[in-house]
Chains A and B, each alone.
Chain A
């Protein structure tokens, strides 16, 4: 008992220190640094803020319009094709944004297959890249939600004479709507926080968002912290308000019980060609990124020799240290994230659920208070997902400027930032595992003579292992391709793979940059490919 209490104490202190140190203090430092309120209403910053919101809205609306039918279609396929299609939809999560940017430059540039559109370095290019990036995200959520719809309900509606439109309106839509709204809102937030894609594809002003402008004010142009802070505050407004909606939609989805009934067996449309078609549609959304494998440049001949390029001595000498830095960062981040997520789960589990059986007015009020406390705690755990890495990074710099400095590079600052932004992902995978724990099974095992440790390893660990490994792999994949935190705190001795790509792109070493991009794509997508099934049907 004492050991349990000690562990719980450590977990609570860790979570409080993490949240206060990595979220609350940096954000308060940002707010405290506002020395010129007029800058918040500066016409240029306002224009950039409105362009950010408009770009995110357009990207989210178009993505949602495409993803809803696609998700429903994939979700209603047979189990085997559905599993493959969902894994295919998950693959783009592993595509580093800098690789996606490079791929779109290859496709939309003057020598790309979509050159005739003349969209390179424009607002349209940004929206297109965001749409292709986010359709799989929304479609995956909708598909997962659709799979929980019992076939019997659809059959009943059909028997009662409901046409397709009526079945959609009264049976399918109520099932998928909260997942759909939640994913669409998340897409808005992701697009508003997008950094590398806009930096690569936007082409500078007038296509400039708050994130890119903030970065320019700190790291590229002459230092202008006041303007950077003004951009950061607007970005908080643009991203945190929709994030509250995401949390609301997620809670509605949980309370509606739309994930409570597990559908078993095959679904409606069993036609093989339909399954293949849904698989192909999912693959098409990943296809653009494969263009980085084709190293074909005007002056260097053509071929698919990215492996050959990487094997060259001079290239290997530069790629290996960058790969080592990337792996170190990814492993440290993954360990930090998993540890923090487990501590968060332990802390939340220790909070009273507010579901006591006692009656009476005062106990009703106290249980309502307990539920509210739990909801607030859950909300706070998700908040970092609604804040961009650059905004947090600026706050971190302002708060701890005596110890960390973007120009000297900081391994610790990159880890702290990545842990903060990836922690909610791992938490959302692990929390349902802890919440749905079968305490009776553990008690039964202990009644049968098993020790607490034995009960844990035999009853609990088999449930925890897949999501835990899945979360670990997903964080490693995401960290390997992360650009914002490393762009802010890199130094000459701390250059990971994504930065090497952008650096080589600017040194005319396009074939080399594309080869590293191909390597990064293989690494990240490979990890997601193997990790995704392990995360089960938890929300990511």
Chain B
């Protein structure tokens, strides 16, 4: 719902189509979405009927409050990219690959060259030269923890014990992390490969880039963002049935060509629909050497977060 984001573009389109009113309730990053769903469910007073912006790990944790589709399927789901996993109840509408974004100007000033693998980040030259997101509050932050645990080739606590002195700050969310990066507080930030397209679209040269995605030998983790219906959020009776139908129509609308064409330039992610034409800035975005599928089970995430906390607080 932020200015320039996808919400303000597509809500009026849907309102025109359905002759209804869409009310957006902003909730911040993934962690906050979860909190809101949980709180609404506990109070028995759901605030929203549709939740937008869950990714796969968040979806697994949000399952208790998500409505299953049963025999219904959104129109156009078969046209989605084949790599996007089909999980009942979760409708992917965009995807992307996490990667470090490097500021070559800042790297040059700090006399650094971009790393080629994850464990390079543990070397002293990267000390306080990285900006990461807090995994407890941000989905990119959580993805980095799961990714590092999966591919670093080191015991997780050993990796994090070394890593905890490397970041300049752990931002509460992606937007604050990226804000610091743009202020040149550090030469690298954990973001998305498609951030490069954003910079190209906003004037960064496509031949001598200042901002560039850095790919690792280990591959890049994938993030799939999606939408879901909130369980028990529809009123009983005819009014509720109508709302339920409208909510399903909205999910259909999300993966329609009309919306998917807008995804790249407003979400700065790849559209989920396979046949969607990408803007030229996306063509230059490097594709990962290998795609890392992260573990997304709620209990695995809890274990990873708990051992991460212990490691960074120095309790091992």
Contacts and interface: CB of A to CB of B under 8 A. Distances in A.
A505 B173 CA distance: 12
Contacts of A299: 182
A267 B39 CA distance: 62
Nearest to B132: A204
B152 interface: no
Interface stretch (A62-70, A218-226, A416-424): A218-226
Nearest to A220: B137
Contacts of B184: 110-111, 298
B314 A206 contact: yes
Contacts of B136: 216, 220-222
Majority-rule SS of A interface residues: loop
A222 B309 contact: no
Contacts of B201: none
A118 interface: yes
A255 interface: no
Interface stretch (A42-50, A93-101, A145-153, A383-391): A42-50
Contact of B134 (A121, A204, A223, A407): A204
B175 interface: yes
Given A109-B185, A216-B136, A44 B315 contact: yes
Contacts of B164: 205-206
A27 to B, nearest CB: 22
Interface stretch (B28-36, B222-230, B271-279): B28-36
A205 B305 CA distance: 13
Nearest to B34: A222
B169 interface: yes
A510 interface: yes
B7 interface: no
A177 B315 CA distance: 40
B43 interface: yes
Given A220-B31, A221-B31, A507-B179, A120 B313 contact: no
A16 interface: no
A208 to B, nearest CB: 8
B175 A506 contact: yes
B47 interface: yes
A219 B183 contact: no
A407 B173 CA distance: 18
Interface centre among A111, A118, A218, A508 (most CB of B within 10 A): A508
Given A205-B313, A222-B61, A297 B183 contact: yes
B172 interface: yes
A460 interface: no
Contacts of A401: 43
A205 B137 contact: no
A313 interface: no
Counting chain B residues whose Cβ lies within 8 A of the other chain, the interface size class is 35 or more
A526 interface: no
A221 B133 CA distance: 12
B55 to A, nearest CB: 14
Contacts of A218: 35
A492 interface: yes
B167 to A, nearest CB: 8
Contacts of A204: 134, 169-172
A162 to B, nearest CB: 51
Interface in B4-47: 25-29, 31-32, 34-36, 38-39, 43, 47
A205 B133 CA distance: 11
B312 A407 contact: no
A507 B310 CA distance: 31
B232 interface: no
Interface string A197-238: 001000111101000000010111111000000000000000
Nearest to A51: B313
Interface in B90-121: none
B59 interface: no
A102 to B, nearest CB: 12
B168 A223 contact: no
A492 B175 CA distance: 18
B176 A506 contact: yes
Interface in B289-314: 309-310, 312-314
B119 to A, nearest CB: 21
B2 interface: yes
Contacts of B2: 507
B22 to A, nearest CB: 15
A508 to B, nearest CB: 5
B169 A405 contact: no
A405 B43 contact: yes
A510 B168 contact: no
A120 B38 CA distance: 35
A118 B35 contact: no
Given A506-B179, A507-B179, A121 B312 contact: no
Interface in A397-432: 401, 405, 407-408
Interface string A485-508: 000000010000000000001111
B128 interface: yes
Nearest to B135: A221
A223 B34 CA distance: 8
Determine which residue in A109, A218, A222, A408 has the highest number of CB atoms from chain B within 10 A of its CB, and name it: A222
B111 to A, nearest CB: 15
Contacts of A492: 25-26
A506 B2 CA distance: 12
A401 B176 CA distance: 30
A297 B183 CA distance: 7
A407 B309 contact: no
Contact of A219 (B35, B38, B128): B35
B31 A222 contact: yes
A48 B38 contact: no
A142 B234 CA distance: 63
Report which residue of A118, A219, A223 has the largest number of chain B beta carbons within 10 angstroms of its beta carbon: A223
Given A110-B184, A205-B309, A206-B313, A121 B169 contact: yes
A177 B304 CA distance: 51
22 contacts: A43-B313, A43-B315, A44-B310, A47-B314, A110-B186, A111-B183, A203-B169, A204-B170, A204-B171, A205-B170, A208-B313, A216-B134, A218-B35, A220-B31, A220-B134, A221-B136, A222-B31, A223-B35, A298-B183, A299-B182, A507-B179, A508-B175
Instruction: Return the 5 tightest CB-CB contacts between A and B, nearest first.
Output: A204-B170, A203-B169, A121-B169, A506-B176, A223-B35
Given A204-B169, A216-B137, A507-B175, 19 more contacts: A43-B313, A44-B313, A47-B313, A199-B172, A203-B169, A203-B170, A204-B172, A205-B312, A206-B314, A220-B28, A220-B137, A222-B61, A223-B38, A401-B43, A407-B35, A407-B47, A408-B47, A507-B179, A508-B179
